[in-house]
Copies of this chain bind each other. A is one copy, B any other.
Amino acid sequence: MTGEFERISLFTAPFEKGGGGVVAGPGDDCALTRPRPGWLLVSKVDELVEDVHFSAAFRPEEVGHKALAVALSDLAAAGATPRWFLVALGLPPGFPDRRLAGLAKGMSALASRTGAILVGGNLTRAGALSLTVTALGEAREGEALRRSGARPGYELLVSGSLGGAALGLRLLSKDGGSRRSWRRSWRRSAAVRSQLTPEPRVGLGTIAGRYAAAGIDLSDGLLQDLGHLCERSAVGAELYEENLPLSPEVKRLGAEGLELALGGGEDYELLFAVAPERVAPFVRAAKRRGESLTRIGRIVEGRGIRLLGKGGAPLPLPASAGWDHFR
């Protein structure tokens, strides 16, 4: 194990340097950046802690990827384009250089693909491995999305598919992550991959501000996160059960799959409330960027979330989804 400055160099080595409005990056007391005119968005601080947010089943590259992905997903939900980010690492005593390099590799690959530039961070001793990321992004004035912009009559659109990350977590937990042969076969499952390395919807985020009225990313699960959005907007919502885009592995589970799609967290898909006349243009613009958007419901007056089956008959909400204060 090397000294503190060597470890910082080891970590920062694979990240791209300079450009992107950075006047001075890591190494000074502060990073110096030049924002474009408009709004600056600062992601909430997202912290991943070993054994709380990820297990030994995760490879270091996957932990590094996920820590940044979660922060970029926050920016995307707000309609922001990522610019800069900071990362604070808490490393347990004796943490091997090889694993530190793995964290950096996974994180830098996602950073370079999404145009997010590392501008600073910190390295400290900790009881358990932890990664704390704060990301900064920009939006044109008036084009950033908040949770509070949903109005009755607006449609609910969700990106990608639902329930995969929760199923992946279940598959990983079953086997404890101790056997190498299992690890390899797990990774063939799309559900497991979406748990290990969720892909933040960065491209969708950069256009969402032009079409949507409110946005949130699905970290706690569709019902919980839709609940947050409704609460902030002082509205209710209806969900169309047969429209929910379950991933194929999740769909095969039947009722249990529906529970995962409604209550399972960590999909990091984006949920938007969109005025009816903007739905079609938004869906088309997303498609041009290779992103799918599915109409899964609508905003209504009042409070609470209702799940509707075929023909509009109300269905019971699964009790396990942990959102019963919204009923």
Contacts and interface: CB of A to CB of B under 8 A. Distances in A.
B88 A132 contact: yes
A40 B29 contact: no
Interface string A27-69: 1111111110101111111110100100000000000000000
A33 B35 CA distance: 11
Contact of A44 (B45, B121, B128, B148): B121
A40 B35 contact: yes
A128 B47 CA distance: 15
Contact of A32 (B27, B45, B49, B78): B78
A54 to B, nearest CB: 13
Copy count, this protein chain: 2
B124 A127 contact: no
- Chain A facing B: main interface SS: strand
A70 to B, nearest CB: 10
A119 B74 CA distance: 14
Q: How large is the interface on A (under 10, 10 to 19, 20 to 34, 35 or more residues)?
A: 35 or more
A126 B49 contact: yes
Contacts of A136: 42
A86 interface: yes
B42 A119 contact: yes
A24 interface: yes
A42 B31 contact: yes
Interface in A98-151: 119-122, 124-128, 130, 132, 134, 136-137, 141, 144, 146-148
Contacts of A132: 45, 47, 88, 122, 132
A146 B29 CA distance: 8
A35 B137 CA distance: 12
A90 B78 CA distance: 25
A30 B127 contact: no
Given A29-B216, A42-B119, A44-B30, A124 B49 contact: yes
A162 interface: no
A125 to B, nearest CB: 6
B125 A127 contact: no
A28 B124 contact: no
A265 to B, nearest CB: 14
Contacts of A52: 124-125
Interface string A163-192: 000000000000000000000000000000
Contact of A47 (B23, B74, B122): B122
A237 interface: no
Contacts of A43: 29-30, 120
Please list the 7 inter-chain residue pairs (A to B) with the smallest Cβ-Cβ separation, ordered nearest first.
A127-B127, A45-B88, A45-B122, A30-B78, A29-B74, A30-B41, A31-B42
Interface of A: 23-24, 26-35, 37, 39-47, 49, 52, 74-75, 77-78, 80, 84, 86-88, 90, 119-122, 124-128, 130, 132, 134, 136-137, 141, 144, 146-148, 215-217, 232
